[in-house]
Structure 1
Amino acid sequence: MSRKNDKLFLLIKSLSKSEKIHFKLYAKRIKTNKKAKFTNLFEKMNKMNSYNDKKILNNTSISKKQLSNIKAHLFKQILISLNLQNIEKNNDVKILNYINFAKILYNKGLYIQSLKFLKKSKILARNEYMNIILLEVIEFEKMIESQHITRSIHSKSGDLSLESKELIEQLKCQNSFSNLSLELYGLYLKVGYVRNEKDKIFIESYFRTNLPKFNIKYLNFYEKLYLYQARVWYHHIQQDFIMCYQFSKKWVKLFQINKNKKKVLPISYLKGYHHLLNTLFYLNKYYQFIKILAEFEEEVKKNDFILNVNTEVLIFLYKYTNIINKHYMEGTFSEGINNVIPSLLKEFNRLYNLLDIHYIMIIYYKIACLYFGSGDNKNAILYLVKIMSNKQTNIQKDLQCSARLLYLMACYDSGLDDNMDGKIQSAYKFFIKMDDWYIVQKKIIFFFKKLGNLYPNQITIQFKKLRDKLLKYSFHPYEKRTFLYLDIISWLTSKIENKPIEQIIKEKFLLRDSHIR
């Protein structure tokens, strides 16, 4: 599937039905626009399934020379229409409009009227904890008060100066938390989990050095949010999932206490839920997991936050990855194939052009694991090849490495083991290149290398030996990361006991379930 990257086409396809109606009304408010080339272009592109210059030129009166300018004009008009439609929905847009009105009035010399709009924007910005915008408003007020006679209260200038100083201090703290959160996330995307003691010392030192001093009682909503986000990434990178659970829970609870923030920051709210679910999955806390998953699905149904393309994409991603995770935990892979894959692929194809490549690879890996668990190795291989053939370097290393190990397992199970030596050598070179060559990966690769030289009666013994070796590393602080993506132990057990892997995982789940009950 090709990724269409025409920005105007993607914008039009992202519009909701109501947004399209609003744009048509906006564009045609001027009679001459009804037959304008940009409105004609909108109609044609809206009906297209994929962007094609030739179709546009052949079916409109637009010439090749005009096309670029008309597309740019249409893009701008759609944005203006969206801005007008969203003014009352989004307080941040409303605040910026008040500031724009204040600037217009100021330029007309109407200083008192300008200050009135700044006051309105100030109240909204303070209520929403939008400190950066609030500081901009205060600086504008200071400029008016210092340069013009406004007949305002004498102490106003002193109050504004004090407000500005306090805000700057708050912003320094907030900025430190948000920078720390973002930088830890960047580190995770680049290198994944800590791999050794050196990595652990670096992350701990980095976190301590960049974490500002604070008293939790005096932190505002945004400061707490960025602090919890930074904590989640810090503990996640170290594979400390118990602490990760504690802070992702605080993250979600923060939004549940400040319900109005769900509409302001829906992306952060959804991400908090996903981290909470992901952590429970890694901790294998099934009953807590399904409880939180039900909560998440109920929140989506309630529509308590703004639904737009961004939230739609994340809801799709988080909903399906966690539903698949539920099937992993239960060992119900075949049920997942029948009940999840058809609707997943339908939604995936619809949203494909809006998905980040990293998200696409995650979906492919989840689908591949579902097929592998169900015993459908050929379809598992199909999706694993999609990951392995991707040449972009910004895909998480742990995901790429696990895909190659699962590929070897699927090839072995499917009987597609021709040129197995070449496949093993390719995986070996990849691990070396990615600097991700650790004990568990080494033992799996060397195991596959030896398999071809064994007699049939020796294979089961070797499977047992490998399982015994790997079990020692399943709780190792650094080596356990491989097991988060790949249930290699269950696969080895299925070979030893000559049972489908689905049956092995299901039996483990039922045994654990009976102990809990």
Structure 2
Amino acid sequence: MAELQKDFLFVLIKSLTTSEKRQFKLYVNRLGINVDAKFLLLFSEIDKMTEYDENVIINKKISTKQQLSNLKAHLYKQILVSLRMNPSHQNYRIQLREQLDFANILYQKGLYKQALKILDKTKQTALELDEKSIALEIIDLEKVIESQFITRSVEGRADELIKQSKEISKQNHYATELSNLSLKLYSEMLTHGYVKNDEDRAEVMEIFNAQIRKIAFEKLNFTEKLWYFKAHVWKNQLLQEYKYTLKYAFQWVDLFHKNPDMIVSHPVWYIKGNTYLLKILFLYGNIDILEESFKQFNTIVTSSSFTQNENVQLLVFMTYYNTLMNIHFVKGEFFSGSKLIPEIELKMEKFRDKIDEHHYMILYLKMAAMFFGSKKFETSIKYSLKVIESKGNVQEDLLFHTRILILMAKHESGNDEDYDEFIKATSKFAKKMKKPDEFHFESIQFFKNLNNLLPDKQLEAFKTFDKKLEIFSENEYYRRSLFYIDIHGWIKSKVRNVDVIEIIKEKVRYKRKN
């Protein structure tokens, strides 16, 4: 992945479909450019490559080393222009901006009436789609034209444009404040992770309250409500308050269901809302509601009216397979769940250069957990190692819990050849974590002691650790740690001498009764 990221042009060309490549060549020929133009030769050469190699380009005299940077930049721009013209990449934002561009051209030619007619129609569409930023740009251009093109209705038009401008500016202010807050909270989650003490909690609440108290919910339109719900979801995720995360994730998705036209306009945020909703339903373990919501999500994203592009396909893939595996986890269906893995890996390869490393590794951790549940312990270790050996940017908690899964698999398989060395490495890793806590060190100590005990003494160690995990599960700041890998369910299965699947099925039955 790192290699692909080094050259954006290579990645862009490799992302093109056969039809997009054909259109690019047609577009170049329509320009009347000689078929031997250097940037077209460069396109053809890079298209043949499996890995980007600058020396091949220079050796074939397509470009000198000094000229290559400019040639690549020109080719990159021409590909983007070609893609912009492709109907498959047309969406309402591009269409709105295209109309705004047309109006600008007409204005510059002095064709004011024609420009105003396009602007008025485009503005109405922008307002219907809640695209207030574009609407404000349109109004600004209308003001410029009206100030030069005198009509008898100029007084009424002026008042109308001033009123619209003020209303949209206020809405844009709300949207800016809420989007800034949402982004800040999301950044906190990625940078520092979930709150681990009262001090962390106070810091998050200070960030949140400083912005949210300025917002009057009843004055919000669709976009502002969307950012409002996002901010609450991310705040409650940080605080590990899953009851409220569920509440606002549901409102986020329900906002789209109440405004179905916006699903077409904002497919990414519809998918993201469902991603959080389905994830929190998994954490709650309520299989009935989880499956019902998952079915509704699939029905909408596979409908003919749902927007289809590579970005959307990637997000649907991530949400679909993460949720599908989660459903198998909740039900304890590890054997049938593990049969999905070849299919998932095949699709992962398709999106390899588009998925960030953290989310890529989450899929591998889930695969490793699925193999563990289906008693394929060596395979579980193999997939877990893909995570801890990753050189990308992966959250510390994910890496730590992958190590715990490896220790569980080593214990079950009896493969303790490098057990002590792995314990030492895990302990060293925990000490280097930004915010290690008691759970991390207690878990390491448990596995360290376990390997030194005779089989008849291990049951007592499991019972002792089970009691500690009960205490951890009651602490709101440790609760999240028990969600990564169901270590508690595994410990309980040892204490009660039953298969871990039985523990999971009991949880599902309990959730259904409640």
- Judged with a 3 Å threshold, the aligned counterparts in structure 2 of structure 1 residues 192 and 384 are, in CA distance, closer, same or farther, namely same
1:423 partnered with 2:422: yes
Residue 483 of structure 2 corresponds to residue 484 of structure 1: yes
Give 2:479's aligned amino acid. K
| More off after superposition, 356-365 vs 319-328 | 356-365
Partner SS state of residue 4, structure 2? coil
Counterpart for residue 268 of structure 1: 269
Equivalent residues of 1:229, 1:251 under 8 A apart: yes
**Who is 2:444 aligned against?**
445
Aligned to 1:508: 506
SS in 2 for 1:304: coil
Identity of counterpart residues, as a percentage? Answer: 36
TM-superposition CA deviations, 1:235-285 (whole Å, max 9, x none): 222222222222111111211222222222111010111111101000110
TM-score in terms of structure 1 length: 0.91
Tell me which residue corresponds to 2:202.
201
1:186 is displaced (CA, Å) by 1.2
Task: Give the whole-Å Cα distance in 1 for the aligned partners of 2:290 and 2:266.
Answer: 24
Matched with 2:166 is: 165
Q: CA deviation at 1:380?
A: 2.2
Question: Is the contact between residue 83 and residue 89 of structure 2 (CA under 8 Å) also seen in structure 1?
Answer: no
Q: How far does residue 363 in structure 1 lie from its aligned partner after superposition?
A: 1.5
Question: Which residue matches 1:305?
Answer: 306
- CA distance in structure 2 between the partners assigned to 1:437 and 1:315 by the alignment: 34
The letter of the residue matching 2:330 is: M
Alignment of structure 1 residues 211-360 onto 2, 5 Å: 211-338=212-339, 340-360=340-360
Q: Is the 8 A contact 2:369 2:380 kept in 1?
A: yes
Structure 1 residues 59 and 333, CA gap change in structure 2 (3 angstroms): farther
Q: Deviations over 1:288-343 (max 9, x none)?
A: 111111222222221432211211111111111111111111111122112x1011
The aligned counterpart of 1:383 is 383
Stretch moving more, 488-497 or 47-56: 47-56
User: Residues 146 and 157 of structure 1 are in contact (CA less than 8 Å); yes or no, is this contact kept in structure 2?
Assistant: no
> CA 1:314 to 1:3, structure 2 compared with 1: closer, same or farther past 3 Å?
farther
The amino acid across from 1:245 in the alignment is L
- Aligned mates of 1:398, 1:304 — CA distance in 2: 39
Post-superposition shift, 1:364?
Answer: 1.8
Q: Is the 8 A contact 1:177 1:212 kept in 2?
A: no
SS in 2 for 1:354: coil
Contact 1:189 1:395 (8 Å CA) reproduced: no
Secondary structure at 1:353 match in 2: coil
CA contact (8 A) 2:330 2:508 kept: no
Task: Output the CA distance in 2 between the equivalents of 1:224 and 1:498.
Answer: 50
- Is 1:177 aligned to residue 178 of structure 2? yes
1:204-245 Cα distance to aligned partner (Å, 9 max, x none): 332222104444443211011111111111222222222222
Greater Cα shift, 36-45 or 97-106? 36-45
CA pair 24-110 structure 1, distance change in 2 beyond 3 A: same
1:362-397 deviations in whole A, cap 9, x for unaligned?
1122122112222222222223223223355x5333
Rounded to whole Å, the distance in 2 between the matches of 1:26 and 1:455 is: 74
Q: Distance in 2 between matches of 1:88 and 1:446?
A: 54
8 Å contact kept, 1:173–1:212: no
Contact 1:244-1:279 within 8 A present in 2 as well:
yes
Look up the match of 2:409.
410
How far 1:356 sits from its partner (Å)?
1.2
The alpha carbon displacement at 1:124 in A equals 2.1
**Secondary structure class of the residue paired with 2:244:** helix
Per-residue CA distance 1:123-160 (angstroms, 9 max, x = gap): 22212111112212222222333356466522322332
Map 1:82-121 → 2, pairs under 5 A: 82-86=83-87, 89-121=90-122
Give TM-score scaled by structure 2 length: 0.91
Unaligned runs of 5+ in 1: none
Distance of aligned partners of 1:83 and 1:247 in 2 relative to their CA distance in 1, 3 Å threshold = same
Number of matched pairs: 513
CA RMSD of aligned residues (A): 2.7
Q: Do the aligned residues in 2 keep the contact of 1:190 with 1:397 (CA within 8 Å)?
A: no
Report if the CA contact (8 A) 1:33-1:39 is conserved: no
Q: In the TM superposition, what whole-angstrom CA distance separates every residue of 1:484-510 from its partner, at most 9, and x where no partner exists? A: 112112221333455554x34454357
Instruction: Give the match's secondary structure for 1:454.
Output: coil
Q: List alignment gaps of at least 5 residues for structure 2.
A: none
Corresponding letter in the other structure for 2:456: N
Per the alignment, residue 394 of structure 2 pairs with: 395
Contact 1:41/1:60 (CA < 8 Å) preserved in 2?
no
Q: Is the 8 A contact 2:489 2:504 kept in 1?
A: no
In the alignment, the residues of structure 2 paired with residue 419 and residue 366 of structure 1 have an alpha-carbon distance, to the nearest angstrom, of: 24
Name whichever of 322-331 and 409-418 sits farther off.
409-418
1:463 maps to 462
Equivalent-residue separation in structure 2 for 1:88 and 1:376 (angstroms): 44
Paired position in structure 2 for 1:130: 131
CA contact (8 A) 1:174 1:222 kept: yes
Quote the Cα distance in structure 2 between the aligned partners of 1:110 and 1:273.
47
2:469–2:488 contact (8 Å) kept in structure 1: yes
1:453 and 1:77 map into 2 onto residues whose CA distance is: 65
Query: For residues 20-169 of structure 1, what are the structure 2 equivalents within 5 Å?
Result: 20-54=21-55, 67-86=68-87, 89-146=90-147, 149=150, 152-169=153-170
1:434 paired residue number: 433
How far off is 1:12 after superposition? Answer: 2.3
Q: 1:404 to 1:248 in 2, by over 3 A?
A: same
Q: Out of 283-292 and 248-257, give the one that drifted further.
A: 248-257
Give the drift of 1:350.
1.4
Find the aligned partners of 1:49 and 1:498 in 2 and give their Cα distance. 52
8 Å contact kept, 2:384–2:403: yes
Instruction: Kindly provide the amino acid, as one letter, of the partner of residue 102 in structure 1.
Output: A
> Per-residue displacement from partner, 1:425-468 (whole Å, max 9, x unpaired)?
32223223223332322221111222243233211111111112
Partner SS for 1:222: helix
Deviation, 1:74, is 2.3
